[in-house]
Structure 1
Amino acid sequence: MRRFLFAFAALLICNLTFAQSDSAFIRQLADEILLRGKAYEQLRHLTKKIGPRLAGSPGMVKAEQWGAAEMKGAGADQTILQECKVPHWVRGGKDEAVVTGKGIPARKLDVIALGNSIGSPKGGVQAQVIEVSSFDELDKRAAEVKGKIVFYNYHFKPAFVRTFQAYSDAVAYRGQGPSRAAKLGAIGVIIRSMSHSTDNIPHTGSTRYDSAYAKIPAIAVGLRDADWLSQTLQSGKTLNMRITTHGYFLPDTTGHNVIGELKGSLYPDEIITVGGHLDSWDNCEGAHDDGAGCVQTLEVLRAFKALNYRPQRTIRFVLFANEENGLRGGSKYAEEAVAKKEKHIFALESDAGGFTPRGFGFTASDEQYKKIMQWLPLVAPYGCSEWVRGGGGADIGPLNRSLGTPMASLNPDSQRYFDFHHARNDVFEAVNKRELELGAVNMAALIYLVDRYGL
């Protein structure tokens, strides 16, 4: 019995020592990032000096060159430009929508064409507007749709506390709306922006045409104009709208995932990935989506090197290409991992804005999640105390689907994210320095713990 008690006590002391050691190192990481961090100034350069960086654009090329230089400057053992073919959609001009009707002055709406949408014929498309609040209503009124412009006035549901749930609920109208209307003979579509903000700024984002139906012009409208349009139609007035857009595709071009690597000292074949996506929509600086995730990723690398941390496992810091309108970067990363038979033990993505970190969402087995939850007390003091099942990211999703890699998302406070998402106000000034840095602190802590103890 004495022997057992001695062994048990020794184990407790050993575990306590490890916990104290881990806590002390995480504190060092936090101090390094909060006192000497470079993420905020990197974000300033990315947004103000490079700006929009949609796949295929000159901004994409400049951003990739910048990312590779920053990886090297942060001390990566090697920097890799992983080539992938990306789509090259061009907006082509100023998007417009003008509404006219008997007894009302012509009104120009604040609109923007949906990403990947096709431009209108020369001079635009003009027709009567029909409002629907759902796909069910569209189908019930199918006989009225032919030759019309369909206005999808589907609201973000305010009862969802987690705003990504509201986005998931509404985004089908952006993705499927044009083709579902075209199926019934519509000649154009205008959708309520994917937001619950109080301003009138329209939000773009990808749409997906069904090749079985006509590709019709598709735009998003600011929320105040959406409310005006709805109220005017519901008052019984007949309204006509002229939509003018210019979007088109050029042939696919070459983009790159920008990868910085720290080689593992004990288990170099076990790979941990942390990253964000480098591309943004063409109508904004992409500060929250996803400049924040990119500079947080770079900051984790820089902090590890500044503290002379030698990882046990190989850590890859990835700025993914083409998340916004193709997901070619994340798909290529997973494809090469499969082809090379790599062992990816964990992936973390930051793609929910540079707001105050609240927690992490994990997609992992029961056993892995149980192990992960043991680390919560070490990270919670830095703000990430809400650890939940379910999480990951668009760019690391292919890795999870191909190899079963456990994955996680950094979950910042989401209440303001969709005020800026895919909109022209997603600019550097919208990001708070402290919030951005605290996100990097929590990411660094989690990556350190996965590296130290594995999964």
Structure 2
Amino acid sequence: MLAALLLLSAFATQAQNHEQNLRTIFDEALTKGQSYPMLEYLSLKIGHRLSGSPSAAAAVEYTRQQMESYGFDQVYLQEVMVPHWVRGQKEIGRIVNSKFGSQDVNVIALGNSVGTGPEGLLAEVIEVQSLEELEKLGKKNIEGKIVFFNRPMDPKHIHTGHAYGGAGDQRVKGPSEAAKYGAVGAINRSLTLAQNDTPHTGSLIYEEGVAQIPAVAISTVGADYLSRSIKANKAMKFYMETHCEMLPDVLSYNVIGELKGSELPNEYIVVGGHLDSWDVGDGSHDDGAGCVQAIEAVRIFKATGIRPKRTLRAVMFMNEENGLRGGNEYARVAKEKDEKHIAALESDSGGFTPRGFGIKSSEETLAKIQSWSSLLAPYDLRKIVKGYGGADINPLEDQGPALIGLMPDSQRYFDYHHTTDDTFDKVNKRELELGAASMAALIYLIDQEGL
């Protein structure tokens, strides 16, 4: 009986310590936080950070210096060769020979796309709603035409990430699938639930051995107008002009900062975001926010004197947007060194109000993390569910760690995602700080309790 009482007392004391330390973590982030000024510099002084660009190189150096200035135990660069795609001069999109007359529309080249060159491309357009529809139409209906993928994101999903995932195949795979049937170009409806005239870029993947055709995204307003034009005149044509090209690979880096564990230094907990962004806007939500939150999550431990048992790593992954080279290289090196990662946490859904975490793990691990709900609930972190970790940390999956994604409120993210509107003024300081504190809080519990 005495032993049981002592055990209960120890559990109560430990829970009280956790409550106090979580309060300390949030107090530090909300009163002395560094995430917002870091993001301000990254966004406004450096700007967009497409892989292979001078600004991406500047971001590498800036984040390295920041982690050193915060007194991390070790900060180093991990080499990775990245693609170097350049957009070139502004794209042109024009509906011609329409019953409604010629009309310029806002388009943007998809990342990794080949360009049309200065001569542009003029061809008839055929509208489809899915990749499967291409097969039904066949080569006789598609050859020599531009394929217009016009399936919208499904608004019925409450979490907009699910809607994005449900429509993304037409952007990523659509151009190559269309090329198999002789298409000469591709137009993609922007991946957003917003109804506006801002087109959204994003990466495509060309299938090996298939002709590479130029591809653009069109705004949702433009997509609706184009669809009406096609219905009014099946023989109408579309003119697109893009000047993008893929240059030789460039040497870049993942940026890694560590706080060494006091008891289990050879066990690692990773927290990260991707340092690269598209070459439009300044990448504040995607994913400048995630990068500064990751650095801040580790800085908080240093600033508050909460010494982790395990080694914490803040990782700035390079090249998530159009290659995933950084995430793959990090996982490759970790496997080569036989490093033991027990958890990896990524923030890549914007700097909005945190709601909880999506967990990709065994049922046992998920249950353990969910057992901390009462500790996290005072900070409105009430959603701890099966979910998706993140693109950069997913390559670690076969090495066994729990893969965790911060889940901010998702309703506004795809309004800005991959657009000129993804800028610093769209980020709320307190929301950003709450996200960083939330990440630090979960890292703390994983570190102290283990998985």
* Fold-level similarity (TM above 0.5): yes
Contact 1:297 1:318 in 2 (8 A): yes
Instruction: Determine helix, strand or coil for the equivalent of 2:209.
Output: coil
CA contact (8 A) 2:348 2:390 kept: yes
The reply on whether 1:340 has 2:334 as its aligned counterpart is: no
**Alpha-carbon shift at residue 383 of structure 1 (Å):** 1.9
Helix, strand or coil: the match of 1:255?
Answer: strand
Map 1:208-223 to 2 at 5 A.
208-223=205-220
Indicate yes or no: 2:133 matched with 1:137: yes
Contact kept, 8 Å, 1:84 with 1:254, in 2: the verdict is yes
- Residue in 1 that maps onto 2:405: 409
CA positional deviation for 1:104: 3.2
**What is the one-letter code of the residue matched to 1:98?**
R
Checking the alignment, whether the CA contact within 8 Å between 1:101 and 1:237 is kept in structure 2 is no
Distance verdict in 2 for CA 1:224–1:79, change over 3 Å: same
Alignment of 1:136-155 (within 5 A): 136-142=132-138, 143-155=140-152
Q: 2:430: which partner in 1?
A: 434
Per the TM alignment, residue 122 of structure 1 is displaced from its structure 2 partner at its CA by 3.3
Residue 312 of structure 1: aligned partner: 309
Shift of 1:356: 0.7
Out of 180, 184, 187, the residue aligned to residue 183 of structure 1 is: 180
| Aligned residue in 2 for 1:166 | 163
Corresponding letter in the other structure for 1:160: H
Structure 2: distance between partners of 1:199 and 1:9: 63
- Does 2:277 match 1:275? no
What is aligned with 1:58?
A: 54
- CA shift for structure 1 position 287: 0.6
Which one of 371, 389, 414 corresponds to residue 392 of structure 1? 389
Is 1:232 the counterpart of 2:229 in the alignment? yes
Q: Which residue of 2 aligns with 1:49?
A: 45
What do residues 29-64 of structure 1 show as CA deviations (whole Å, max 9, x unaligned)?
101100111111111111111011011001110000
Calculate the TM-score normalised by the size of structure 1.
0.97
Note the 1:119-138 alignment, pairs <5 A. 119-138=115-134
1:248 equivalent in alignment to 2:245: yes
Shift of residue 367, structure 1, vs aligned partner: 2.1
Name which of 319, 324, 328 aligns with 1:327: 324
Instruction: Give the 3-state SS of the residue equivalent to 2:101 in structure 1.
Output: strand
- For residues 302 and 295 of structure 1, the distance between their equivalents in structure 2, rounded to whole angstroms, comes to 10
The answer to whether residue 190 in structure 2 is matched with residue 193 in structure 1 is yes
Q: 1:246 to 1:373 in 2, by over 3 A?
A: same
- Residue 209 of structure 1 aligns with an amino acid whose one-letter code is Y
* Deviation, structure 1 residue 277: 0.5
What is the aligned partner in structure 2 of residue 92 from structure 1? Answer: 88
| CA shift digits 1:79-105 (9 cap, x unpaired) | 011111111111122111111125433
The Cα of 1:237 is off from its aligned counterpart by 5.2
Matching residue within 61, 78, 83 for 1:82: 78
Indicate the RMSD between aligned Cα atoms, in angstroms: 1.1
- Contact 2:99–2:232 (CA under 8 A) maintained in structure 1: no
Percent of residue pairs bearing the same amino acid type: 50
Most deviating of 35-44 and 57-66: 35-44
Counterpart amino acid of residue 311 in structure 1: P
Distance 1:335 1:211 in 2: 23
Identify the range of structure 1 (255-264 vs 5-14) with the bigger mean alpha-carbon deviation: 5-14
Q: Is the 8 A contact 1:301 1:317 kept in 2?
A: yes
Q: Which amino acid aligns with 1:351?
A: D
CA distance in 1, matches of 2:192, 2:231: 22
Deviates more, 1:341-350 or 1:128-137: 128-137
C-alpha distance in structure 1 between counterparts of 2:345 and 2:200, whole Å: 27
> What displacement does 1:106 show?
2.0
- Structure 2 runs not aligned, ≥5 long: none
Report the Cα offset of residue 137 of structure 1.
2.5
- Match of 1:24? 20
Cα separation, 2, equivalents of 1:102 and 1:90: 32
Residue 211 of structure 1 and its aligned partner are, at CA, apart by 2.5
1:13 aligns with 2:9: yes
Task: Tell me how far 1:301 sits from its aligned partner.
Answer: 1.8
Deviations 1:318-359 (A, max 9, x none): 111111111111111111111111111111000111011111
CA contact (8 A) 1:75 1:301 kept: no
User: In structure 1, what is the Cα distance between the partners aligned to 2:133 and 2:295?
Assistant: 47
DSSP-derived class of the 1:345 partner: strand
Deviation at 1:368, TM superposition (A): 1.8
The amino acid that maps onto 1:251 is P
Tell me which residue corresponds to 1:284: 281
- Alpha-carbon shift at residue 235 of structure 1 (Å): 2.6
Partners of 2:98 and 2:233 within 8 A in 1: no
Question: In structure 2, how many angstroms separate the alpha carbons of the residues matched to 1:394 and 1:313?
Answer: 24
Matched, 1:35 2:31: yes
1:208-256 CA-to-partner distances (Å, cap 9, x unmatched) read 1122221111000000011111112223453211111111111111111
Select the residue among 298, 301, 309 that pairs with 1:301. 298
Alignment counterpart, residue 359 of structure 2, candidates 359, 362, 368: 362
